[in-house]
Structure 1
Amino acid sequence: MYDDFGNLTYVLSPEMEATTASVSTINSQLSELGYQYVYDQRNRLVEKKIPGKGKEYIVYNKLDQPILTQDALLNAQGKWLFTKYDVFGRVAYTGVIVNNASRITLQQIADSVGSQNVTKIDYAFTVGDKSMYYNNGAFPTSWITEIYTINYYDDYTFDKDGLSLPSSWDGQAILNYNNTSKLLTKGLATGSKVRVLGTSNWITTITGYDVKGRSIYVASKNNYLATTDVVKSTLDFTGKVDKTTTTHAKTGKSTITTVDTFTYDHVGRLLTQKQTIDTNPEQVIVSNTYDELGQLTSKGVGGKTTQSRLQTVDYTYNIRGWLKQINNPTSLGTDLFAFKLNYNTTEMGMGVSALYNGNISETIWRTANSETYGNRKRGYAYQYDALNRITEGGFRRANSTGSSFIEQTNEYNVTGIDYDLNGNIKHLNRRGVINSSNSIGDMDKLTYTYSSNSNKLQIVSDAGNDTYGFKDDLIGAGIDSTTDYTYDVNGNMTKDDNKGITSITYNHLNLLTKVTLNNGNISYFYDATGVKLKKIVSTGATTEYAGNYIYEGGDLKFFNQPEGYVEPENASNYGAGFNYIYQYKDHLGNIRLSYNDKNNDGDIDVTTDPNTNELVEENNYYPFGLKHKGYNNVQGAMRDHKYGFGGKEEQDELGLGWIDITARNYDPALGRWMNIDPLAEKFPEWSPYNYTMNNPINLIDPDGRAPEPPKNGIPQFIDNTGVYFWRADKKAYEQYKYTDSSREHYSFSGYYTVNSNSKAVGKSVSIDPNANNFKIEPAETSILSDLWNSPISRLAVPDKISFSLSTSVTAIAGVSEELSFNWITRGHDASLVPYVTATTGVQAGPNVSGDALVGVGIGYFPTTDLRSLNPGDASNGLLGWNAYGSVDAGAGLGGSITGSVGFSGKPLISSPTWINAGIAGGASIGAGGTGGVSYSFPVFKSQYEKE
Structure 2
Amino acid sequence: MLRLIMVISPAAVDFMADKMDYTLKTDVLNKWVFQYQYNKRGLVSAKKIPAQDWTYMDYDQLDRIALTQDPNLRTSNKWIFQKYDELGHPIINGLATISSKSNIDLQNTMWSTNAVLYESRIGPSDWCTTNDGYTHNVYPTSCSEDLLLNYFNDYDFDGNGSDDFIPISSDIARSKNKLTGTFVEVLNTTPSQFVKQANFYDYRYRIIETDGLNERDRSDQTLNTYDFAGNILTSVRNLSVSHLMGTLSITNRQTFDNADRLIDTYMQVDAAPEIWLADLAYNEIDQVKQRNLENYMAGIDDRQSDTHRESTQYIDYKYNTRGWLTDINDITTASSLNGDYFAMKLHYDDGNSSLGASSQYTGNISWAEWRNSSDSVKRQYGYQYDQLDRLTKAKYTSYNPKETKVDDDLFTVSNLKYDANGNINAMKVKGVISKVKNAYTYGVADDLTYSYDGNKLTKVVDKGTGEWSNGLDFRGTGNTYNYDANANMTNDPNKGISVTYNYLNLPESITKTSTGDNLKVSYDAGGNKWREVTTIAGTKDSTLYFGGIIYEKGVPKKILNSDGYLVKDSAGNWNSYYYIKDHLGNIRTVFKGIEMVYTNAPLTMETNIDEEGNYPKYHNVASTRNNLERFQGISSAEIHNAQGPYTDAPIHARDSVKISVYYYWQKNAQKPQQPPKNPNNFLPLIQLQTLPDILSQQRIESGRQHSRSTFGMQLNIIGLFNYLHDKHHQQRDIEAPESAPDAYALLQLQDSSNNVVQEWKYKSDSSDKWIHLSDSMKIIVPDSTMKYHLHMELVNNSDENVWYDTLNLRIGTPTTPVIQENSYYPFGNMIDKLCWQTTGEDTSAYRYNGKEWYNPFGLDWLDYGARWYDPQVGRWWSVDPLAEKFLGWSPFTYGNDNPIGNIDPDGMAADGDYYGKNGKYLGSDGINDNRVYTVNTTTIANSNVPSVFLQSQINYVGQSTGFELSFTGNANAENSQQADGTVNVYQNVSNGSQFTRMSLGAVGGPFGNGAPPNGDYTVDDPRLRTESGFTRDDFGFSFNLNPQFETQRTLLRIHPDGNTSGTLGCIGLQCTGTQGKSFYNLLSNEVNRNGAMNLNINITDNPNNQGGEDVPKINE
Pairwise same-fold verdict (TM > 0.5): yes
CA-to-aligned-CA distance 1:449-502 (integer Å, 9 cap, x gap)? 32444433333334231343251254xxxxx2113311111111111111111x
Secondary structure of 1:216's match? Answer: strand
Measure the CA separation in 1 of the matches of 2:348 and 2:472. Answer: 34
Aligned to 2:428: 429
Q: Is the 8 A contact 1:56 1:72 kept in 2?
A: yes
**Structure 2 letter corresponding to 1:221:** L
Residue among 272, 281, 298 paired with 1:280: 272
Residue matched to 1:653 = 856
Correspondence list, 1:799-818, <5 A:
800=1003, 802-803=1005-1006
Q: 1:237/1:355 Cα in 2 relative to 1: closer, same or farther (>3 Å)?
A: same
| Separation (CA, whole Å) in 2 of partners of 1:425 and 1:192 | 42
Native 8 Å contact 2:912 2:927 kept in 1:
no
Q: Structure 2 counterpart of 1:680, which letter?
A: A
Match of 1:720 in 2: none
- Which structure 2 residues correspond to residues 301-340 of structure 1 after superposition, within 5 A? 301-306=293-298, 307-331=309-333, 332-340=337-345
1:640 aligns to 2:843 (yes or no) = yes
1:506 alignment partner in structure 2: 501
Distance across 2 between alignment mates of 1:470 and 1:424: 23
> Contact between 2:289 and 2:318, CA under 8 Å: does it hold in 1?
yes
Shift in CA distance, 330/164, structure 1 to aligned 2, threshold 3 Å: same
2:257 paired residue among 256, 262, 265: 265
AA partner of residue 147 (structure 2): Y
Match of 2:117 in 1: 116
Q: How far apart are 1:111 and its partner, in Å?
A: 2.3
2:235 corresponds to 1:244: yes
Which residue type is aligned with residue 194 of structure 2? W
Structure showing greater radius of gyration is 2
Q: Which residue of 2 aligns with 1:526?
A: 523
CA separation of 1:568 and 1:602: change in aligned 2, threshold 3 A: farther
Contact preservation (8 Å) 2:1010, 2:1106:
no
Residue pairs, 1:82-101, within 5 angstroms = 82-101=81-100
Q: Following the alignment from structure 2 to structure 1, what is the Cα–Cα distance between the partners of residues 529 and 14?
A: 41
Specify whether residues 227 and 535 from structure 1 end up closer, same or farther in structure 2 by C-alpha distance, changes over 3 A only: same
Determine the C-alpha separation between the residues in 2 that align with 1:264 and 1:319: 26
TM-score by length of 2: 0.63
> Residues of 1 paired with 2:910 and 2:828: CA distance?
15
Change (3 A) 1:440 1:756: closer
C-alpha contact 1:175 1:208 (8 A) present in aligned 2: yes
Q: After TM superposition, list the pairs within 5 Å mapping 1:623-634 onto structure 2.
A: 623-634=826-837
Alignment partner of 2:110: what SS?
helix
The residue aligned with 1:220 is 212
- Partner-residue secondary structure (3-state), 2:263: strand
Cα-to-partner distance string for 1:668-720 (whole Å, 9 max, x where unaligned):
1110111111111111211111111110000111111126999999xxxxxxx
Question: For 1:299 and 1:656, how far apart are their aligned partners in 2?
Answer: 35
Q: How many percent of aligned residue pairs carry the same amino acid?
A: 29
Counterpart secondary structure, 1:35:
strand
Q: Residue 587 of structure 2 corresponds to which residue in structure 1?
A: 591
SS at 2:72 equivalent: helix
Query: Which amino acid letter does the alignment assign opposite residue 312 of structure 1?
Result: Y
Q: Which protein has greater RCO, CA pairs closer than 8 Å, 6+ apart?
A: 2
Question: Is structure 2 residue 216 aligned with structure 1 residue 231?
Answer: no
Contact map agreement 1:348 1:396 (CA 8 A) in 2: no
Single out whichever of 609-618 and 238-247 deviates more from structure 2: 609-618
Q: Given the alignment, which residue of 592, 617, 627 partners 2:820? A: 617
Is the 1:700–1:708 contact (alpha carbons within 8 Å) kept by the matching residues of 2? no
**Secondary structure, aligned partner of 1:16:** helix
Opposite residue 421 of structure 2, the aligned amino acid is N
- Alpha-carbon distance in 2 for matches of 1:920, 1:203: 54
Q: Which residue of 1 aligns with 2:355?
A: 350
CA–CA distance in 1 between the matches of 2:842 and 2:945? 41
Residues of 2 paired with 1:411 and 1:302: CA distance? 35
Q: 1:391 to 1:905 in 2, by over 3 A?
A: closer
Instruction: Spell out the pairing of 1:857-868 with structure 2 (5 A cutoff).
Output: none
Structure 2 equivalent of residue 254 of structure 1: 246
- In the alignment, structure 2 segments of 5+ residues that lack a partner are 299-308, 597-686, 691-777, 786-811, 917-922, 929-934, 957-979, 982-1000, 1016-1031, 1048-1059, 1084-1093
Whether the 8 Å contact between 2:909 and 2:926 is mirrored in structure 1 is no
Residue deviations 1:139-187 (CA, integer Å, cap 9, x gap): 1113x44221111111111149996332539xxx4125xxxxxxx5224
C-alpha displacement of 1:320: 1.0
Q: List per-residue Cα deviations over 1:784-807 (Å, max 9, x = no partner).
A: xxxxxxxxxx99xx9748426689
Q: 1:298 aligns with which of 287, 290, 314?
A: 290
8 A Cα contact 1:581 1:594, kept in partner: yes
1:104 alignment partner, SS class: helix
Judged with a 3 Å threshold, the aligned counterparts in structure 2 of structure 1 residues 225 and 536 are, in CA distance, closer, same or farther, namely same
* Matching residue's letter, 2:325: L
Matched residue type, 1:387: L
Classify the secondary structure of the residue corresponding to 1:30.
helix
Matched AA of 2:535: S
Distance 1:584 1:671 in 2: 24
| 1:400–1:267 distance in 2 versus 1, CA, 3 Å | closer
Paired amino acid for 2:395: G
Quickly say closer, same or farther: Cα 1:587–1:553, change in 2 above 3 A.
same
- Letter of the 2:130 counterpart: K
Q: How far apart are residue 408 of structure 1 and its match?
A: 1.5
User: Does the 8 Å CA contact 1:388/1:695 hold for their aligned counterparts?
Assistant: yes
Q: Deviation at 1:215?
A: 1.2
- C-alpha separation between the residues in 2 aligned to 1:14 and 1:729? 24
On the 8 A contact 1:536/1:543 being kept in 2, the answer is yes
Does 2:907 align with 1:704? yes
**Which residue does the alignment assign to 1:550?**
550
- Comparing 618-627 with 700-709, greater Cα deviation is found at 700-709
Corresponding position of 1:580: 576
Root-mean-square deviation (CA, aligned residues, Å) is 4.6
Q: Which amino acid aligns with 1:491?
A: A
Secondary structure at the aligned position of 1:134 is classed as: coil
Does residue 690 (structure 1) correspond to residue 692 (structure 2)? The answer is no
Residue 216 of structure 1 and its aligned partner are, at CA, apart by 1.4
Q: How far does residue 446 in structure 1 lie from its aligned partner after superposition?
A: 3.1
CA distance in 2: counterparts of 1:920 and 1:60, whole angstroms: 37
The answer as to whether partners of 1:125 and 1:131 remain within 8 angstroms in 2 is: no
Q: Secondary structure at the match of 1:499?
A: coil
Q: CA deviation at 1:219?
A: 2.1
Query: Structure 2 matches for 1:116-515, cutoff 5 A?
Result: 116-123=117-124, 125-127=126-128, 129-142=129-142, 144-159=143-158, 164-168=165-169, 173-176=171-174, 184-200=175-191, 201-222=193-214, 224-251=215-242, 252-306=244-298, 307-331=309-333, 332-347=337-352, 349-369=354-374, 374-402=375-403, 406=405, 408-436=407-435, 437=438, 439-469=440-470, 471-472=472-473, 474=475, 480-501=476-497, 503-515=498-510
Structure 1 gap ranges (5+):
177-183, 475-479, 714-725, 732-753, 773-793, 809-814, 817-828, 842-854, 877-903, 924-937, 942-947
Matched residues, number: 776
Counterpart of 2:659 in structure 1 is none
C-alpha contact 1:243 1:262 (8 A) present in aligned 2? yes
TM-score by length of 1: 0.73
Kindly state the Cα deviation for residue 340 of structure 1 after the two structures are TM-superposed: 0.9
| Whole-angstrom CA distance in 2 between matches of 1:611 and 1:872 | 57
Q: Could you give the per-residue CA deviations for residues 411-431 of structure 1, whole angstroms, max 9, x where no partner exists?
A: 111111111111111111111
Q: CA deviation at 1:342?
A: 0.4
Residues in 2 aligned to 1:216 and 1:228: alpha-carbon distance in whole angstroms: 17
Are residue 71 (structure 1) and residue 70 (structure 2) matched? yes
**How far apart are residue 568 of structure 1 and its match?**
1.0
Question: More deviation in 383-392 or 303-312?
Answer: 303-312
In the TM superposition, what whole-angstrom CA distance separates every residue of 1:385-414 from its partner, at most 9, and x where no partner exists? 111111111111113323x6x251411111
> 1:310, 1:603 within 8 Å by CA — same for their partners in 2?
no
Change (3 A) 1:195 1:90: farther
Question: In 2, are the aligned partners of 1:412 and 1:432 still within 8 Å (CA)?
Answer: yes
**In the aligned structure 2, how far is the partner of 1:339 from the partner of 1:487?**
40
Instruction: Pick closer, same or farther for the CA change 1:467–1:489 going to 2, 3 Å.
Output: farther
For residue 456 of structure 2, give the secondary structure of its aligned residue in structure 1: coil
Match of 1:743 in 2: none
Distance in 2, matches of 1:759 and 1:631, equals 32
